[in-house]
Amino acid sequence: MYMEKSGAPRRKPVTAPGLRAMKEKGQRIVALTAYDASFAVLAERAGVDFVLVGDSLGMVIQGQSTTLPVTVDDMVYHTRMVARGLETALLVADLPFMADRSVEHALEAAWRLVAEGGAAMVKLEGAAAHHLAVIEALVSRGIPVCAHLGLTPQSVHAMGGFKIQGRQQEAADRLLQEALQVEAAGAAALVLEGIPTALGKIVSQRLAIPTIGIGAGVECDGQVLVIYDLLGLTPGRRPKFSKDFLEGRGSALAAVQAYVEDVRAGVFPGLEHSFD
Ligand SMILES: Nc1nc(=O)c2c([nH]1)NC[C@@H]1CN(c3ccc(C(=O)N[C@@H](CCC(=O)O)C(=O)O)cc3)CN21
Ligand SMILES: CC(C)C(=O)C(=O)O
Ligand SMILES: [Mg+2]
């Protein structure tokens, strides 16, 4: 094997049903993005539970200003690279923009992410009727789905920028209803991005499936970050909800380990990384 992956004692593989069991036991889920084998090994060695090949790769790897140009081919390529670095963490891949334009397209894309890429779960943004139909189609064929609500970057133009969502009561009520709908459609987990802490808490309490927050406050059942933000590698302004864990530490592994510990202990995100 090219790379030593875990370094630590072996642990049981993280699975889709296992995420729900973690919520039931009150164990926080630690998620992190990775786009290549080296970063996947880092996440694996630090004990990350859920490794996301995010379409954020369009921004942090490709240097584009949104995630919209990312293709299914791009996602399959990076998912394959990440798969080679993982041993026990759950491998999740984003369906890129418009891969869900029909149930057929979504099935084809998810098939490739699982069969060619090695993903064990796919993530998709939104809870419109057509998204719910896609979730049901994938789940009924044995592909676990992670939903994604709130600040959904593939809707950047509709939102008028990467803006915090669910600040008004009506929008908050709508988001809770959508969360209940994706759960009913069979989603195994839900990423909540860019919403007030109080809303993240309510959604997490009302759902049986785990919520994984990014800029959604400390009350979610888990947290996710973009690894480049965690390592302070993002040029220019990075989202307020992110934190440079490498600052004051001697290695990338120590930085990821500190993130894992802080999420498990419920001390990250702090108020300074949250919205109210
Ligand atoms: N490096 C990186 N980190 C991410 O978290 C990330 C990406 N890229 N690319 C894909 C999406 C885009 N994301 C973003 C990008 C910017 C903001 C941002 O600047 N938000 C403002 C909030 C504005 C408001 O208050 O409404 C902020 O100050 O954080 C948020 C999410 C999250 N994702
Ligand atoms: C930030 C996470 C949730 C994501 O969707 C991505 O990295 O693309
Ligand atoms: Mg994404």
Question: Was 94 annotated as part of a binding site?
Answer: yes
Which ligand ends up closest to the CA of 213? 2
55-80, pLDDT tens digit by residue?
999 999 999 999 999 999 999 999 99
Is 201 a known ligand-binding residue?
A: no
> pLDDT value at position 11?
85
- 118 Cβ closer than 6 Å to some ligand 2 atom: no
Mean of pLDDT values over 211-225: 98
Cα dihedral sign, 64-101-164-193: negative
What is the SS3 assignment for 120-176? CEEEEECCCHHHHHHHHHHHHCCCCEEEEEECCHHHHHHHCCCCCCCCCHHHHHHHH
Least confident of 113-122, 159-168, 233-242, 244-253: 233-242
54: Cβ below 6 Å to ligand 2? yes
pLDDT greater than 60 at residue 88: yes
Question: Does 262 carry a binding-site annotation?
Answer: no
What local confidence, expressed as pLDDT, does residue 237 receive? 81
pLDDT, averaged across the chain: 96
Q: What is the model's pTM? A: 0.97
| Active-site annotation holder among 44, 178, 183, 193 | 193
Element (H, E) at 229: helix 227-230
Question: Which ligand places an atom closest to the C-alpha of 99?
Answer: 3
CA distances from 107 to 78, 122, 185, 200 (A): 19, 11, 16, 30
For CA atoms 268, 271, 273, 275, the dihedral sign is positive
Pocket of ligand 1 (CB under 6 A): 56, 59-60, 67, 151, 153, 162-164, 194, 226, 228-229, 234, 238-242
Query: What pLDDT band is residue 120 in, cutting at 50, 70 and 90?
Result: very high
Tell me whether residue 104 is annotated as binding.
Answer: no
- pLDDT tens per residue across span 3-59: 677 666 568 999 999 999 999 999 999 999 999 999 999 999 999 999 999 999 999
pLDDT digits (tens, 9 = 90+) for 123-160: 999 999 999 999 999 999 999 999 999 999 999 999 99
Residue closest by Cα to atom 4 of ligand 1:
226
CB-based burial, 84-98: b 16+ in 10 Å, e otherwise:
bbbebbbbbbbbbbe
Residue whose CA is closest, atom 8 of ligand 2? 54
Residue 115 pLDDT class (50, 70, 90 cuts): very high
pLDDT tens readout for residues 242-273: 999 999 999 999 999 999 999 999 999 999 99
Pocket test for ligand 2, best of 52, 195, 243 (most atoms within 8 A of CB): 52
What are the structural domains of the chain? Answer: 16-273 (3.20.20.60)
